[in-house]
Amino acid sequence: MIYFDHNATTPLDERVVEAMLPYLTAFYGNPSSLYRMGRVVRSAIDTAREQVAALVDVQTSQIIFTSGGTEANNLALSQVQKDVLIATSAIEHPSINDFSNQWHNRHISIPVDNNGLVNMAAVSELVQQANKPGLVSVMLANNETGAIQNIEELADLLKSEQVLLHTDAVQAIGKIPVSFPKLSVDLMSLSSHKIYGPKGSGALVINKKLAITPQLIGGGQENGWRAGTENVAAIVGFGKAAELALADLALRSEHCLNLRLQLEEGLKTIANVTIFSEQVDRLPNTTQFSVQGIDGEMLLMQLDRKNIAVSSGSACASSGGKASTVLTAMGVANQTAKGAIRVSLGKDNTAEEVKQFITVLKSLLIKD
Ligand code: PLP
């Protein structure tokens, strides 16, 4: 099978499995237990915390382990009271936008331009109002188009405004360099399964000055900020995946970019193809495109029958025929948005697979 859906999830790296195994078998102790096995398990969590902290250039005290990106996003947004205004970009993941709509009483959507970049003038206007938001959330890289936002510029805008800035970096880590202090954000969400780690593991990274109001209250784990007996093997796996992502970042990113360029060169030999967010900085592994007059979900199923896995948009949006909210927010016409196919490449994909993909795609489109 040709797997081209790494923004949905990635396979576990063998080295990650190896690191996790002892904590699924011999070392089953509770990390809060004081005897030796408990201490061994605690120390494995400490190591993972160091590995994840290193990936985004922070201290270990700034990492709160969660059950993934969704929980990290929910936890970040719940740091402002329900009645305080919250502003999120129109292209955020549902764990940001649906959460804001349901949990917060006052939620504003920040518009994006045709390339999917946040309208900075709109943010600037928003924070100059007397009634400004308590928190702004803009993702670092989009899961569908791969478009990368200028978070540093946003942080600069908000610097003197006493507005918390959160970024969802779930799709960015392991693909581009991500430094929490360089981005000058207050909160950042991470997920393990997008970087060859296990599912159900992630982290919220926090500014040292913040004290977190927990959503899960109980045994005081994670500094009292996220209670519940730790999912030790998943945390250890996330740590190992983070270590590998940091060590191989340049290699993976160059490899994916070369494949993406090859892919896009091939796409451009097909008539009426639109590549979304093509004019702006994108993740090296991501291309979202549409062929005029073609239904994206139909094409996805046809590709599936040829053993090729791609996405027709966000995996989480299993849309029931609806156009992607990301593309709609970018002003893409409904028909074009419905034709969208996302290819997200990974470290183990090859030039031969890209070549095969283009050949199969052309054969399917000609048949149509
Ligand atoms: N944020 C973005 C941008 C995502 O793409 C995803 C997953 O698709 C998430 C958050 C949710 O992460 P998780 O699957 O770890 O809950």
Instruction: Render pLDDT for 166-204 as a digit per residue (tens, 0 to 9).
Output: 999 999 999 999 999 999 999 999 999 999 999 999 999
The residue assigned the tokens 């918390």 is 164
CA 91 to ligand 1 centroid distance, Å: 13
- Nearest ligand 1 atom to alpha carbon 193: 15
Count CB-CB contacts under 10 A for residue 143: 28
Is 349 among the domain residues? Answer: yes
> 130: pLDDT confidence band, cut at 50, 70 and 90?
confident
Instruction: Render pLDDT for 77-102 as a digit per residue (tens, 0 to 9).
Output: 999 999 999 999 999 999 999 999 99
Residue of 70, 50, 33 whose CA lies nearest to 230: 33
Is 4 among the domain residues? Answer: no
Domain range for 122? 14-247
User: What's the Cα-to-Cα distance from 348 to each of 2, 14, 74, 351, rounded to whole Å?
Assistant: 10, 12, 32, 10
- Nearest ligand 1 atom to alpha carbon 314: 8
Same domain, 213 and 323: no
Is 6 among the domain residues? Answer: no
Is 1 among the domain residues? Answer: no
Ligand 1 mutation pick, 5, 73, 93, 166, max ligand atoms within 8 A of CB? 93
- Nearest ligand 1 atom to alpha carbon 70: 16
Joined tokens for residue 93: 């993941």
Helix/strand/coil (H, E, C) string of the chain?
CEECECCCCCCCCHHHHHHHHHHCCCCCCCCCCCCHHHHHHHHHHHHHHHHHHHHCCCCHHHEEEECCHHHHHHHHHCCCCCCCCEEEECCCCHHHHHHHHHHCCCEEEECECCCCCECHHHHHHHHHCCCCCCEEECCCECCCCCEECCHHHHHHHHCCCCCEEEEECCCCCCCCCCCHHHHCCCEEEEECCCCCCCCCCEEEEECCCCCCCCCCCCCCCHHHCCCCCCCHHHHHHHHHHHHHHHHCHHHHHHHHHHHHHHHHHHHCCCCCEEECCCCCCECCCEEEEEECCCCHHHHHHHHHHCCEECECCCHHHCCCCCCCHHHHHCCCCHHHHHCEEEEECCCCCCHHHHHHHHHHHHHHHHHC
Q: What is the pLDDT of residue 316?
A: 46
Same domain, 243 and 105: yes
Same domain, 140 and 264: no
Half-sphere exposure of 185 (CA within 13 A, CB side): 31
171 lines ligand 1 (CB under 6 A): yes
Instruction: Render pLDDT for 347-366 as a digit per residue (tens, 0 to 9).
Output: 999 999 999 999 999 999 98
Same domain, 187 and 225: yes
316 lines ligand 1 (CB under 6 A): yes
> Mean pLDDT, to the nearest integer, of 197-216?
97
CA 269 to ligand 1 centroid distance, Å: 33
Is 340 among the domain residues? Answer: yes
Instruction: Render pLDDT for 2-13 as a digit per residue (tens, 0 to 9).
Output: 999 999 999 999
Same domain, 42 and 176: yes
- Nearest ligand 1 atom to alpha carbon 141: 3
CA 357 to ligand 1 centroid distance, Å: 26
> Mean pLDDT, to the nearest integer, of 226-234?
98
> Mean pLDDT, to the nearest integer, of 337-347?
96
Q: Kindly report the pTM of this predicted structure.
A: 0.97
Distance between CA 98 and CA 148 in Å, rounded?
22
70 lines ligand 1 (CB under 6 A): yes
> Mean pLDDT, to the nearest integer, of 144-160?
95
Same domain, 214 and 311: no
Residue of 309, 273, 305 whose CA lies nearest to 288: 273
For 78, counting Cβ atoms within 10 Å of its Cβ (0-12 exposed, 13-18 middle, 19+ buried), the class is middle
Joined tokens for residue 74: 């929910």
Instruction: Render pLDDT for 288-337 as a digit per residue (tens, 0 to 9).
Output: 999 999 999 999 999 999 999 999 864 444 556 688 999 999 999 999 99
Is 86 among the domain residues? Answer: yes
Same domain, 202 and 97: yes
Same domain, 237 and 141: yes
Q: Which domain-ending residue is among 190, 216, 247?
A: 247
139 lines ligand 1 (CB under 6 A): yes
Q: Is the pLDDT of residue 279 over 50?
A: yes
Q: Is the pLDDT of residue 227 over 90?
A: yes
Is 346 among the domain residues? Answer: yes
Distance between CA 141 and CA 92 in Å, rounded?
10
Task: Tell me which residues are annotated as active site.
Answer: 316
Is 8 among the domain residues? Answer: no
Q: Which domain-ending residue is among 209, 228, 247?
A: 247
CA 162 to ligand 1 centroid distance, Å: 27
Q: What is the pLDDT of residue 366?
A: 83
Pick the residue whose CA is nearest to atom 12 on ligand 1.
Answer: 69
Same domain, 242 and 293: no
Same domain, 193 and 256: no
Same domain, 183 and 254: no
Q: What is the pLDDT of residue 338?
A: 93
- Domain CATH for 238: 3.40.640.10
Ligand 1 mutation pick, 88, 316, 326, max ligand atoms within 8 A of CB? 316
Q: Which domain-ending residue is among 247, 266, 282?
A: 247
Structural domains counted in the chain: 2
98 lines ligand 1 (CB under 6 A): no
Pick the residue whose CA is nearest to atom 5 on ligand 1.
Answer: 143
Same domain, 242 and 259: no
CA 133 to ligand 1 centroid distance, Å: 24
**CA 196 centroid distance within chain:** 13
CA 170 to ligand 1 centroid distance, Å: 6
191 lines ligand 1 (CB under 6 A): yes
Half-sphere exposure of 249 (CA within 13 A, CB side): 15
Count CB-CB contacts under 10 A for residue 310: 22
User: What's the Cα-to-Cα distance from 135 to each of 56, 156, 180, rounded to whole Å?
Assistant: 21, 14, 17
- Domain CATH for 318: 3.90.1150.10
Residue of 344, 300, 290, 256 whose CA lies nearest to 3: 344
